[in-house]
Structure 1
Amino acid sequence: MKMKELLLFLSCVVCVSADALHTDIHVIGCSDFNGEVMFGLDREELWYADFEKQMGVSPQPSFIDPISFGAGAYKTAVSNLNTCRQNLQITREGIKDFPPLRDAPSGVMIYTRDEMELRVNNTLICHVTGFYPAPVKVSWTKNGRITTEGSSINTPYPNKNGTFTQIARLKFIPQQGDVYSCTVEHLALTKPLIKIYNVETPETPETPETPKPSVGPAVFCGLGVIIGLLSAAGGTFFILKANKCI
């Protein structure tokens, strides 16, 4: 499947407060068939437009006070997407003779969100970074079969060096012996990158046995003492006998 390159316009605003320094980011990206509009704070997604479901999504954790972007946020995102595609056509005409820049992912890792326990709900994370242009395509398998249930992927997040990071997730229940994989595809790759996760319980270390005392040294030691005492007694006997003869 051929993936289209994205033309991205990035707007970063650094906000300073009395307590800390925060980085606010607004990303607008588009191709002929796909688009992205996202707001983030300190490398975390606050809101993004889901153009397939035609709605805005706020992937903010439930334990924080949610940041609202208003009822008109999705409508504004659609307008920004249309403007992006108009600019894409103009830019394409202007740089059609320039070779495209492509960087393959520099790092792919697979790990669990929480410490792994058998038969306890968890999430597998496939972390992909260092690629350009965005996006990457990530697919999952379980025991060699493609699985999509419980899978998701965030919007591409820009790194400071101009490359991107994306994180794919898969909800799963660990069962002993199961094998999972995440497969990463990108324009700059000649073949997909695959990372494997094996569900295995850590082996319980064996308790070292307390060494049993050896009877050998004690026996030899006892014999040595007895022989020594007998020798001493014999010497005394001969001394007394010699004195008696005198």
Structure 2
Amino acid sequence: MMKFFSPDMKCSALVILMINSFCVFSQIPHKFLYVVGCFENGTTEVQYEYDAEEMLYMDFDRDEVVYTVPTFLVDDPSKLFENLHIYLDAKKAKRSCKAIVVLCKEEEEDPTEESDPPESIIYPSEEVELGVENSLICFVNHFYPPEIKVTWTRNGLPVSEGASLSRYYPNNDQTFHQLSTLTFTPREGDIYSCTVEHMALDRPQTRIWEPDFSHDSSVGPDVYCGVGLAVGLLGVAAGTFLIVKGHHGR
């Protein structure tokens, strides 16, 4: 359920929602959302949505608009917005974020930030074969605020080569999820771990994985079920973005 900003809401991040509902010559209403998220750590997120699907977001590090509309739907998504000053408007919003966050913090009744601890699982992206390059996925879910640190080890030693971390994505319950991947080549006896650090955790959360070359057919469905679940959650999560956390029961 979406929550809109009011002085009574707790906000580690202030979110401005501009919502237009309209019909495109049909009896079916459509919803267009322009979302600006201002975070206390100084970062700003801007996203456009159409009917709860992300269409684009701003990459301020690269100074560009990133279109996420599938190419099989629109050959050139930029043409849909060619008469709008999308990036210039996003830069203006970013400049306003610092003052807005300060105002939001001043209006908080309780300075203690509400937080939700993450859950994590680790699994390979493909069926594991000895000596064949693969990827391990550490799926971190249901955390707030959207700031986590993910580290990997192989046989107890830190490993960073081949590791990457995705953007964080929103869930419908106003928490977030994120994926970290590690490219690796399965070998007998290797043990991998994924460790997640988050402010809501009392201690780092570690998940351990080791390759199984027994080729037990009962293992396969469980692995691919996990992959399917993660992909499904990514689709569902595209419906909401950077929603302000409010007091429970308000």
TM-score bin, normalised by smaller chain:
0.5 to 0.7
In the alignment, what sits opposite 2:134?
122
Identify the match of residue 79 of structure 1 among 81, 92, 95: 92
Residue 7 of structure 2 corresponds to none
In structure 2, the CA distance between the partners of 1:65 and 1:143, relative to structure 1 (3 Å rule), is farther
**Which of the residues 94, 105, 109 maps onto 2:121?**
109
**Distance in 1 between the 2:176 and 2:198 partners?**
12
Aligned residue in 2 for 1:209:
none
**CA 1:51–1:111 in structure 2 vs 1: closer, same or farther (change >3 Å)?**
same
Partner of 2:197: 185
Q: In the alignment, residue 46 of structure 2 is paired with which amino acid?
A: V
TM-score, normalised by the number of residues in structure 1: 0.62
Deviating more after overlay: 155-164 vs 42-51: 42-51
Mark the CA change 1:184 to 1:43 in structure 2 (over 3 Å): closer, same or farther: farther
Kindly, what percent of the aligned residue pairs are identical? 34
Aligned to 1:224: none
Q: 1:36 aligns with which of 42, 45, 49?
A: 45
Does 1:136 find its partner at 2:148?
yes
Corresponding residue of 2:176: 164
Counterpart for residue 233 of structure 1: none
Higher RCO (Cα < 8 Å, 6 or more apart): 2
**Aligned partners of 2:45, 2:189: CA distance in 1, in Å?**
38
Residue number in structure 2 paired with 1:195:
207
* Contact 1:6–1:134 (CA under 8 A) maintained in structure 2: no
Instruction: Please provide the CA RMSD for this pair.
Output: 3.7
- 1:199-214 superposed matches below 5 A: 199-202=211-214
* Contact 1:43/1:157, CA 8 A, preserved across alignment: no
Alignment counterpart, residue 91 of structure 1, candidates 66, 84, 104: 104
Corresponding residue pairs, total: 199
Paired residues of 1:28 and 1:37 also in contact (CA < 8 A): yes
1:58 Cα shift? 5.3
What is the identity, as a one-letter code, of the residue corresponding to 2:44? G
Map Cα deviations across residues 92-120 of structure 1 (whole Å, 9 max, x no partner): 11115443211112x21111112122232
Cα distance between partner residues in 2 of 1:43 and 1:121: 36
- Shift in alpha-carbon separation, 1:43–1:78, aligned structure 2, 3 A: same
Q: TM-score, normalised by structure 2?
A: 0.61
- Distance (whole Å) between structure 1 residues aligned to residue 23 and residue 214 of structure 2: 46
Letter in 2 for 1:103: D
Are residue 68 (structure 1) and residue 80 (structure 2) matched? no
Deviations 1:107-159 (A, max 9, x none): 21111112122232322111111112212221222222222223222222222
How far apart, CA to CA, are the structure 1 residues paired with 2:147 and 2:163? 16
Distance 1:180 1:47, change over 3 A: farther
Q: What secondary structure sits across from 1:149 in the alignment?
A: coil
Give the whole-Å Cα distance in 1 for the aligned partners of 2:158 and 2:210: 16
* Greater Rg over alpha carbons, structure: 1
Deviates more, 1:137-146 or 1:179-188: 137-146
**1:133 counterpart letter in structure 2:** P
C-alpha separation in 2, matches of 1:62 and 1:116 = 31
